Structure 1
Amino acid sequence: MKPGGCASSCGSSTKPDDTDPAVWEKIKDHPCFSEEAHHYFARMHVAVAPGCNIQCNYCNRKYDCANESRPGVASEKLTPDQALRKVIAVASEVPQLSVLGIAGPGDACYDWKKTKATFARVAREIPDIKFCISTNGLALPDHVDELADMNVDHVTITINMVDPEVGTKIYPWIFYDHRRYVGLEAARMLHERQMLGLEMLTARGILTKINSVMIPGVNDEHLIEVNRWVKERGAFLHNLMPLISDPAHGTHYGLSGQRGPNAMELKALQDRLEGGAQLMRHCRQCRADAVGMLGEDRGQEFRADRIPGEVTYDASKRNAYRELVAQERRDHVAARSEAIGLVKAARPGKAVLFAVATKGGGRVNEHFGHAKEFQVYEASPRGISFVGHRKVEKYCLGGLGKEAALGGIVAALQGIDIVLCARIGTCPQDQLADAGIRATDACAHDYIETAISAIYTAASGAPALAATA
């Protein structure tokens, strides 16, 4: 094997050493609650809950574009019966599916009757699928007992502030107990209900992920305090999401010129929060009707008018996939452990950011020109860690627009040192080099951590992973 080349390895265990076995059982196949699981498993959202009880300055649920990945967006709203048909169709055709979520397009707890009816119908037909909801938290305390009774193990609450003064800049109004509230009173009431809901979920052993939208100049510094509060109240994960602020969406922030953070600003804040509540860094800010692996959306394939009148659940594909992926995950965990050990031992130990083109499975297996996003990892004396993702326009567009697309990719890869992909042409490779970014396909189809370790240790002069048959 030549220096800097890459190879894979084998192993036996998939559970991280520092994870409680009971918690691991809950998260091991949940792509949103486990960064490791998101390489292998898919989620599905059904848009059965259009009603909402608060207004956020970053939200406009009337906007829809099939190519737009943004919370609150859905192409069609479903009844619980329509949702059941769609879930059966997806579960029969998407073997990676493990989780059914209700994330709007309004609020799952405010539109509770539809949420509950949907879960009840699906549970009867597909008993092994996990359920989760996403909520703003205002109505959450009213339904925690029912969530526990339905064996909902995962809840996401969007919490953008713990200081109501900050909340007045984010929420124009809330609707609670048959009345609309505005200003400081509204923000204070929302804050109190969110904290109560989080505490109630923690007391019942339901894992909670906190989503916070990073809004520069509004709550970016304040999110440090949010992180502290939610950790103290038992949140399992804290997910910082960049504000999406496009005037075309018609949101208050979009129309008023409020900018979102760039990728390096988001990473800098995430880095400052290390040591607080555990961070989620692999979020894709999914639509309310998203289907498929994180980073992809197959929802348009399963629109209501494309689903046959009679649908019957066929579990064979999902069962076969789970058997296949079990060994792959064991191999991946062992390879990751070995790779991280080599990176920690390498000298000199500066931090290097890698952008990886991948189609899933935790491998470097996507052509540079076909990538719609790059997963970003950092290698440093602390090891190898996933730090986020960068969405891009595909470079290969049938010969049209390549220069513009590459310019956008270079901009999106701000701060990246090395790009890993399954294949890349000489032209984009040279142009990336001109921008100070090294791109290589020497590690095609290896595990991501193995590839990173090989490149990182070769640069330091340390021995790389040995090739295996």
Structure 2
Amino acid sequence: MDLPVIESSPPVAAGCSAGSCGSTASQMDGLSDDIRARVQDHPCYSEEAHHYFARMHVAVAPACNIQCHYCNRKYDCANESRPGVVSELLMPDQAVRKTLAVAATIPQMSVLGIAGPGDPLANPQRTFETFRQLALQAPDIKLCVSTNGLVLPEYVEELARYDIDHVTITINCVDPEVGARIYPWIFWKNRRVFGREAAAILIKQQQQGLEMLTARGILAKVNSVLIPGVNDHHLPEVSKIVKAKGAFLHNVMPLIAEAEHGTFYGVMGQRSPKPAELKALQDACEGDMNMMRHCRQCRADAVGLLGEDRGAEFTLDKIEAMDIDYEAAMVVRAELRAQIAADLAEKRAQAHAPAAPQVTPQVIHFQPHAAKPAPAAGRPVLMAVAAKNGLVAVHFGHAKEFLVYEASASGARLVGHRKAESYCAGDENCGDADLVLARTIQALEDCEVVLCSRIGYEPWGELEAAGIQPNGEHAMQPIEEAVIAVWHEMLVAGRLTAGSTAAKRA
């Protein structure tokens, strides 16, 4: 006989299974089984895998064949975190030694990419010699390349030769008039070409290269830089066209335009997009293309998990001083990566397992003759999470970035991240740097909740005064599980009435 129960708990979000509430699935929806299998453990492509697998970039490509208004390459800089910046330029032999040292020290490192500081395909000898050596000495590492696409068509076959099956192309426009506002010149067939003509050549080459990659079975991701007032209204069209030509993923990134970086846009006062503008544009593109939302716009010599940079541990002088038993390290590496892959496979299987048949209980209503209203759906809520390795595991004052999730009745999905400055000097000594705290709060201004492992009294009060609710009650829980739990608490408390702006800051 079925036992009676009393309806009291909030409904489980649709499509949300325990421990996995759809943030990864949202990015993988629409991909074929073949593509999903090829990218699901790639930290630069999978929202889930970047918590477990590490990547590194080697800076062997100093020259570039185009000029972008948002780019200023720096070859000896350790103080900036953005594309085009490196601490050391490497020759291929040095890059291979560094890769092997990182692989031995960080066993979960699974991907090696060449992304600059110039364009890898404008430096073909250095790029392909690096790939040739790594294919022989580290065959378990996936090889990737990022390019502006100007000479991509002539190197597609060479990329395939080294089993490079992931390529990123930066495509900021498909209209030469827009391109002329982004690229002042290109170097094409031994001469500089300027303005609209330059943009037209670049666009043609990018699209031809994308089509050739697709035909060759090489996965292509497209990066686009969102530049307010220049290509913001144009990027949905870019997304449609690159999808039609075979790109499987689109990564719309915010323009980095601080004047101190010395870029043309920075010096001329071109603003960067606000977080809400970036999210709105990504949402507008998402109907036509799978969107990537966890990109960190990494340095050209980045090392480690996304969101961290351990490159300073692996400078050439430090590598020379390392005493590494490479044979033993590779055994440990293989075992650890196999365990991670098995754990992820089990997690995915559990998340997609069919629900067990439910016995319909006899429900006791307190008012048996009154119709019970359907539970309120609740509006979406943005929540910032101080996270590490997929868990709510960072003290608010120690956080150098926050992951931003949108929680709703459909589950939790990652929609971006916000960089921050760590201002806390110790577990019990927070809140000294008022300016840093103010900047962090400003970066999170569109979020309603901040989840962290701990938080001090002063930042708690400042966040509440700004209309952001701190929450330290879900420390060490999986991110999606914690986010959905908080969303349900808000739903039960009546704070999620659809369309109520007052409720958002209640």
TM-score (norm 2): 0.84
**Which string of whole-angstrom CA distances, capped at 9 and with x for unpartnered residues, describes residues 349-383 of structure 1?**
200111111111x1111111111000011012332
What's the CA shift string for 1:324-353, capped at 9, x where partnerless? 424543565478679xxxxxx973320011
Deviation at 1:223, TM superposition (A): 0.8
- 1:449 equivalent in alignment to 2:449: no
Q: Determine if contact 1:264/1:415 at 8 Å carries over to the other structure.
A: yes
| Contact 2:411-2:484 at 8 Å conserved across structures | no
User: Is the CA contact 1:88–1:311 (under 8 Å) kept in the aligned structure 2?
Assistant: no
> What is residue 204 of structure 1 aligned with on the other side?
216
Residues 148 and 206, structure 1, Cα contact 8 Å, conserved in 2: yes
2:334 maps to: 319
1:440 aligns with 2:465: no
**5 Å matches for 1:27-38?**
27-38=39-50
Among 417, 425, 428, the residue aligned to 1:389? 417
Q: Which residue of 2 aligns with 1:422?
A: 453
Q: What secondary structure is seen at the aligned counterpart in 2 of 1:24? A: helix
Residue equivalent to 1:375: 403
The separation in 2 between residues aligned to 1:414 and 1:63, in whole angstroms, is: 35
Q: Which amino acid counterpart does residue 247 of structure 2 have in structure 1?
A: A
How many residues are matched? 451
Task: Identify the match of residue 282 of structure 1 among 286, 289, 294.
Answer: 294
Q: Deviations over 1:76-133 (max 9, x none)?
A: 1000000010001000001220100000111011101111100111111111100000
Q: Is the 8 A contact 2:445 2:468 kept in 1?
A: no
Per-residue Cα deviation, 1:238-275 (whole angstroms, up to 9, x for no partner):
11111111111111111111111111111111111121
Specify the alignment match of 1:158 in structure 2: 170
1:4-54 C-alpha deviation (Å, 9 max, x unpaired): 9xxx9579xx99686433213311221111111111111100000111100
Question: Aligned match of 1:254 in 243, 266, 278?
Answer: 266
Q: What is the Cα-based RMSD across aligned positions, in Å?
A: 2.5
Match of 1:467 in 2: none
Partner of 1:179: 191
Greater displacement, 77-86 / 329-338: 329-338
Verify the 8 A CA contact 1:358 1:375 in the aligned structure 2. yes
Q: 2-side partners of 1:64 and 1:222: how far apart?
A: 35
Is residue 237–residue 277 contact of structure 1 (8 Å, CA) maintained in 2? yes
CA distance in 2, matches of 1:17, 1:283: 18
TM-score, normalised on structure 1?
A: 0.90
Distance in 1, matches of 2:294 and 2:455, equals: 25
Kindly tell me: are residues 228 and 26 of structure 1, through their superposed partners in 2, closer, same or farther at Cα, counting changes over 3 Å?
same
| Equivalent residue, structure 2, for 1:466 | none
- Which residue in the other structure is 1:404 paired with? 435
1-side partners of 2:385 and 2:350: how far apart?
17
Written as runs of structure 1 = structure 2, the 5 A alignment for 1:47-62 is 47-62=59-74
User: Per the alignment, do residues 408 and 208 of structure 1 end up closer, same or farther by CA in structure 2, a change over 3 Å counting?
Assistant: same
In structure 2, the partner of 1:465 is: none
Aligned positions of 1:213-228 closer than 5 A: 213-228=225-240
Match of 2:365 in 1: none
Per-residue Cα deviation, 1:161-220 (whole angstroms, up to 9, x for no partner): 100011111111101121211111111100100000000001111111111111111111
Match of 2:388 in 1: 359
Identity, in percent, stands at 56
Structure 2 gap segments, 5+ residues each: 1-8, 11-16, 354-373, 494-506
Say whether 1:461 aligns with 2:492: yes
Query: In structure 2, how many angstroms separate the alpha carbons of the residues matched to 1:459 and 1:311?
Result: 52
Structure with the bigger RCO (C-alpha within 8 Å, sep 6+) is 1
Pick closer, same or farther for the CA change 1:20–1:294 going to 2, 3 Å.
same
CA contact (8 A) 1:88 1:312 kept: no
Match of residue 142, structure 1, among 154, 168, 172: 154
Counterpart of 2:181 in 1: which secondary structure? coil
Q: Distance in 2 between matches of 1:17 and 1:266?
A: 21
Q: For residues 125 and 190 of structure 1, do their structure 2 counterparts lie closer, same or farther at Cα, with a shift above 3 Å needed?
A: same
Q: Distance in 1 between matches of 2:324 and 2:30?
A: 42
Show the counterpart of 1:42: 54
Contact 1:335 1:449 in 2 (8 A): no
For residue 73 of structure 1, the aligned residue among 85, 89, 110 is 85
Task: Tell whether the 8 Å contact from 2:104 to 2:324 is kept in structure 1 after alignment.
Answer: no
SS at structure 2 position matched to 1:98 = strand
Deviations 1:381-414, CA, capped at 9 Å, x for gaps: 3322110000000131355743222111100102
1:136 deviation in Å? Answer: 0.3
Rounded Cα–Cα distance in structure 2 between residues aligned with 1:440 and 1:112? 50
Q: Distance in 2 between matches of 1:401 and 1:321?
A: 41
Q: How has the CA–CA distance of structure 1 residues 456 and 334 changed in structure 2, closer, same or farther, with 3 Å as cutoff?
A: farther
Equivalent position amino acid for 1:415 in 2? D
Aligned amino acid, residue 39 of structure 1 = H
State the AA in 1 paired with 2:475: A
Structure 1 spans left out of the alignment, 5+ residues: 339-344, 463-469
- 2:194 partner letter: V
CA separation in 1, counterparts of 2:331 and 2:404? 34
- Residue 341 (structure 1) aligns with: none
Q: Which has the larger radius of gyration?
A: 2
Query: Do 1:347 and 1:461's aligned partners in 2 also have CA atoms closer than 8 Å?
Result: no
**8 Å contact 1:90–1:302 — kept in the other structure?**
yes
Q: Aligned in 2, Cα 1:69/1:37: closer, same or farther, shift over 3 Å?
A: same
CA distance in 2, matches of 1:346, 1:115: 58
Which is further off, 306-315 or 115-124? Answer: 306-315
